[in-house]
Every structure is written in structure tokens, then in C-alpha cells.
Structure 1
């Protein structure tokens, strides 16, 4: 079968990624800003150099009366700037004086003020260049007027300088990010140390060791530890309940099973038909008792787990008691017991598991008929409203329960000495467990004669009761 478990990255990895990835993004953004800054810096640097070269060319041309620049000067300029340098000088009347004829042409609307260098980008022999135009007034017979000097240079060294600055910056940032990642990983491992200790503490627990975790943890993890300890407490209670149930069930079932086995073997071993029928009758009675014990054990387990609690559909309590009481009428008549029911004056809607509430009422009536109703006596069932609760009192005419046993009688497998061997001591325990699961209670009411057991259940809210009563009015059979 394919697992549906979703893969989730470890907390350590998630923290590392959430911290380091932003650092990398910041480093990339910083590199971009650095490259843009380097381009601006190299542009300003080379533009200033081109301006100086333009002034030098103008001075040299004046001194040499328009001759070409010396090779020594060109070599020194190229050595200083790295890229080839080209120039052109024109007299005031536009006459070509010296340099290269095919100078880059600036844009038509380019303003060329006198004495101020003007820079522009252009193409020269299909290569990008940076050019400067400088107009200087020269008072000389050969130039007399505004002489135009144009100098241009390829931009490969500018780009190389920008890339070099970017590379140095990227290397520094990369080393910083690596160092930060190492420190972050180390810090995360140290910071998650308490979680590692917590994992080890949980790993040490098993079904026999569910004590609370008492290790010191950071405040952020404290709610998790409290939740785990709460879970351990519930598990301890559940395991204790399960173990007690299994032990008690084994103890209660051992004798009936042994009796069934002995009676079955006795029936098989006898040749007398009358004795065989008698043994088979005893066997059937033992089987019925085993069935009753098993049924009560299962009901007690359901009620103790809380599965007999509230349900979404309230029920009318007097009708529920009447329905259960009708089942016991034939038994009461055969035992010579007068059973009477006094319903409540108004409908009492109670919230709870209907099946389990009926089981509680059934156990109360069965317990009273079995132990508190001798022949010719009376069994009284009264349903009433008391302080917002629906109350059922079951009163018999038997020997009653001693005051010291009023609470003990609701414990599991507790039977009074005069009960004989007909019960297993679970009836009243089931009643109290079901009542508590529904938010109510079960108790013994002190009386002069007989025994009176009170089952108290909370009445649901008024709006819910109104809806349920309307439903009963439209469908009377729903209460049966």
C-alpha cells in the first residue's frame, strides 16, 4: 500500500534555507548595485582622462602648427588608458587640420558650447567608442578662432574595469556568504539542541514509562512539552483502565467458563436422561450468566471510555423511561411485583447517547427487581424536574444498602454479601459511568425502607428542547 505521508523538510534545513537564501539574494542585489556603480565610476574616470587628452591634443597641435602627434605621446596615452586613442582637429572655418578623417559623427542636435567638453557614445569601424568634443578659442595665425578637437576611444577597458570591480566585489560577497552560512549552520545546530534533547527524552518513553518530561526547554517549546505530557497522562490513564478492565474481565469470566466446561463434561458423561436434562439446564443457565457478564463488561468499557456521552439528538426522558420499563413488566408480573411509573409533568429533553441511557435505566430496574423486590412488593419509578435536571428515582422495598456502602456500591465488581452469586457487580457502575459521560450523576438516596437510586441528567437548552418537542408532536412514534 502506498504511503500517503507528506515529506516535510527538517526544521534545521528549513531554518538554514530561510536564513541563507535571503543572504544570497542580498549578495546578488549588492553585486548588481556594485556593477552599476563600477560602470559609473569607470565612465567618469575615462571621461576625465579623455578630456585631459583633448586638451593635450589641442596644445600639441598648436605647438607643432598642425602636425601629427608624436608616436611617443600616443604610446604614452595608450599605455595610460589601455584602449587605442583616435583624434581629429579642425580649424575655425571647418578646415581639417590633423588626425583621422573618419571621426564619429555626433547627433545633429548635440549642443557644442565653447570651452566645455561634450561627450557622446558612437560606433567606429563597428566597435563601440566613447568620444569627446572640445571647442577652444586659439589666437594663432594658423587657427585664429574656435578650434574643434575630437578625441575618441574604444570602451573595452572601461568594461574590463567594471567587470574587474564586479568580480572583486562578488568574490568578497561570496566569501562572506560562505562564512555566514557556516556560522548560521553552527548556530542552528546549537539553537536546536534543546529539541534534540527533547527528541531523546520522548524516544526513551515506552508503554511502561510514560512519566512527564521535565527537561528544561526554551519558552517557544514549552507548550509542546506540556501537550506531550498531557498526552502521556491520558495514555497512562487509558493503559491503567485497560489493564484493570482486562484483569477484572479475566477474573469475572474465569468461573463461568469453568462452570460451563464442568457442566458440559458432566452432561456428556451421564447416561441418565433425566440427569442429562438437568445438567443441560444448568449449562444453559451458566451460558446465560456468561452472556450477561460479557454484555455488562462491554457496556462498562464503552461508558468508561466516554462513548456513551452526548449525541446531537436530544430525547424525551419520561418516554425513554416508559419504554424501558415496559420491557420489564412481564418479569415483574411473574415475580409478583407491582411496578408503577410516575412521569414528569412536562417534557424533559436530555442530551446523551440514547442507547446507553436506556442501558443505564435498564440496569437500575434490573438491579431493583433482582435484589430489592421480594414477592408482593412494589417498585416505584418517578421522573421529575429538579433545578434544571431530569431526575429518575427507582425505589424498591428490599433490604436496602447500608450507609457505609452508598458510594462503594458504584465501584466495579462490588457486590454486597446478601446479593448472592447472581450478579457480577457491574450494573450500578455502568449506570454511574453513563450518567457522568452525559454530564449527570448517579447516587443512593438515604431512605428508611428499601433502596432508592437517583439518576440525574442535565436538561438541554430551551431552544433545543422546543425543536425536539415540535419534532415529537409531529411524529409521536419517535418517542417509542
Structure 2
């Protein structure tokens, strides 16, 4: 751009020189005369920095005046306007203007070439560039220093935060102090503190789970060890049988506890809904009830299933949903009323989304214990059975994983338990979308 405007300026001067030479072409008695006094030549050729060359050429008469070595243009024959071009004279670059002069009085055409070296053009271009670039360079340097200073100051709180987190012990999950920090950094600290709080809660829950699991496993194992010692001391087979019976009970309890712990481990949150598959809910409930019917009958209970929602498809994990229903049926059987013939009713409705109800006429759960029975390893004081307090905790975990609303109430005012499982709309719609 600088070169363009420099050329535009000096090209006007070059054209003025060519116009001055054109005025020196005289016609006298049909003869062409070139009168170039010294004053005119001095005006054309004088320059402290550059050399100037010219030539006047007639189309009919040839070279009339000037320097024969001034280069011709290779740009064509249309010179209705002044034409500027680059060339060389003695291997030195020059800028040349070609001016065509048409004289009708003698029917001839004259071509005036004026060439000039490029020294002052280059000098002016450098002056303009220096005058333009140096302030810009200084301004860029100043802006860069200001930017670096601002970024350093702005990122300093982050560096302090990073240093504080780096120095922390892996066991230190206490909140990070957010005093005297910028608003943007405070938002980040609040997010990290939220993560630390959730992580701390998860670790505490895991430690409590491990401690409780260790206690639950230690009790049957200790009982099993005692009965083994008892059996080893006896010599009569009849005296060994009671110890063997107790060993069998300890083994059953231990097996049940381990199985419950394994199921509980499976209920850890999964990434999204990718592991869920379409399931026929009615078929799942019916087959599970058929599996538990013999056990219910052996404990003097009647297990019935009713459905007004056949072929109702949902999205979920079939194994976990079956385990959830099995735990509810197991609780209904284990905590039955031993003095009467019991009934368990399983009902599946669609109002307008699937609702599964399991109701029994057993001992029931006191109202003040309903919120506690979903805690891991919690058992109602004085309750019988060989449970380990994980059944309803597993039911709650699986229900939360599937987004199922779980409600536990008494079947009647005096006895029994009713569990209501309301399946969410999104579980049903997702299956329909997949099938479509």
C-alpha cells in the first residue's frame, strides 16, 4: 500500500515532465522541430537523488530527440491514456511513463518516454513505513505488556488456588476458603467445594457400608466357628446334629448376606440409560411371582397376581428389577403373621402409567419406622427372621436408579404392608420411541 501511494505521487511528477516535453514539439512549414533549451532540459533532468532519461519518438520520422536506450513498453498499442510501466536501464530499475501526442495538422503521432530511477521513491517508502510501523510496534509492545500484566494479575488467584490444592493431603476433603477472591474464581471454588462435599459424603457412605458389611459377615462366621468347635468336642453323632443344624443356619444367613451385598454393589449408578433394555413388565412380574409361589405356599401363604396392563413395555435392567420384586416378596414371606394363613397380592395397573402394588397381611411396619427401614443394615428392633437389613435398601437403590417412585404404607390400620411402585413416564416413552 505504501508503494502504491508513493508511485502515485511521483508518477504525477513524471507525467508533468512528459507534458513539458510535449509542448516543445513545434511544427513549422510542415517540418517538425524540437526546441529543447537548456532551461527545459535542466527542469527535466535535474534531481539530487535520481537520474532522468527521456526520448521523443515519431511514428513516421523515428527518434527526434533524447536517449535512444530508453526502453519501450510491451503493454500493447493502446496508449490513449498515459501509460506507466517498470523497466531497466543499465541494470538499474526505472519507472517509465509513455505519453502519446496526436498531431492532426501533419498527420503524425509522437511518443514521449520519460524514465526515472527509483531512489527517492524507495527513500520515501522507507520514511513512511518507519513513521507508520514504529508507533504501531511501540503500541503493540505496550499493549502486550499491559495484557501480560493483566493476565498475570487475573490468573494469580487461580495459581494460589492450584498451589493450595496441590499442598493438600488426599485425605483432606474440607471446603476451600473463598475469602478475598474474584467473583469468577469464587464460582470455581464453589463448584470444587460442591464436588468435595459429594465426594466426602460418598467416602463416608462407603466406609459406613464396609464397616456394617464387616460386622454383618463377622457375626455368622463367628457363630459358624463356635458351632464347629462344639461339633469337634462331641463324639456321639446325636450330640453333633444340633451343632450341624446351627452351622446350616449360619451358612444360610452368610450366603443370604453375601448375595444381598453383591446385589447392592450392582445398584451403583450407571452412565445414563444406555444399559437399559425394553422389558415386558407384566411378563417380568408374572414370572417372578411364579418363582416365589412354592416358597409362599410352604410358609402357609397364598401368592396372587392380577394385571390390567398386559404387554406393558418399560425400559430398565431386567435382572435388577427382578431382584427388587424378589426382595419385596421375600420380606412379605419372612415377616408374615405366624398365627394366620397369610395372603400376598401383587397387582399391576396402568393409570395412566404402570403402577405395581405388593400388599400383604403380615406383621406390618410401625409408622415411625417407615423412614428408617430403607437404611442399609437397619432392622426393626425385635423383628424375627434371618435378614441382614439390606432388602429394602436394595429396593430403594434399584427404584432410584430407574426413577421409580417408591411408597411404603400399612395395608390396614392394624397390620400388613403395602408397597407401591410408580414407574415414570420417561421409562415408557423411551421404549415406544425405540420401537418406532
TM-score under structure 1 length normalisation:
0.66
Alignment of 1:358 with 2:358, yes or no, is: no
State which of 286, 292, 296 in structure 1 corresponds to 2:250: 286
Distance 1:124 1:95, change over 3 A: same
Distance 1:54 1:292, change over 3 A: same
Which residue of 2 is the match for residue 161 of structure 1?
123
Higher relative CO (Cα under 8 Å, sequence separation at least 6) belongs to 1
Contact residue 296 and residue 302 of structure 2 kept, 8 A: yes
Alignment of 1:43 with 2:11, yes or no, is: yes
Cα distance per residue 1:42-71 (max 9 Å; x no partner): 4345555x469869999xxxxxx989859x
Alignment of 1:457 with 2:409, yes or no, is: no
- How far apart are 1:166 and its partner, in Å? 5.5
Q: Distance in 2 between matches of 1:101 and 1:326?
A: 118
Q: Which has the higher strand share?
A: 2
Contact residue 409 and residue 419 of structure 2 kept, 8 A: yes
3-state DSSP of counterpart to 2:359 = strand
Q: How many residues align?
A: 407
Which residue of 2 is the match for residue 234 of structure 1?
198
Contact residue 302 and residue 308 of structure 1 kept, 8 A: no
- How far apart are 1:425 and its partner, in Å? 1.7
Distance 1:268 1:102, change over 3 A: same
- How far apart are 1:441 and its partner, in Å? 0.7
Which residue of 1 is the match for residue 368 of structure 2?
404
Contact residue 348 and residue 357 of structure 2 kept, 8 A: yes
Which residue of 1 is the match for residue 220 of structure 2?
256
Cα distance per residue 1:171-212 (max 9 Å; x no partner): 454444334333333333334445445545655665532537
Aligned residue runs from structure 1 range 343-382, under 5 A: 343-347=306-310, 349=312, 351=314, 352-374=316-338, 377-382=341-346
Cα distance per residue 1:80-114 (max 9 Å; x no partner): 332234466899x97999765666668876579xx
Contact residue 410 and residue 429 of structure 1 kept, 8 A: yes
- How far apart are 1:383 and its partner, in Å? 0.9
Contact residue 361 and residue 415 of structure 2 kept, 8 A: yes
Alignment of 1:440 with 2:405, yes or no, is: yes
- How far apart are 1:440 and its partner, in Å? 1.9
3-state DSSP of counterpart to 1:38 = helix
Which residue of 1 is the match for residue 28 of structure 2?
none
- How far apart are 1:258 and its partner, in Å? 2.3
Alignment of 1:338 with 2:301, yes or no, is: yes
Contact residue 260 and residue 283 of structure 1 kept, 8 A: yes
TM-score under structure 2 length normalisation:
0.71
Q: Which has the higher helix share?
A: 1
Alignment of 1:130 with 2:93, yes or no, is: no
Which residue of 2 is the match for residue 80 of structure 1?
47
Aligned residue runs from structure 1 range 386-425, under 5 A: 387-388=351-352, 389-398=354-363, 400-420=364-384, 422-425=386-389
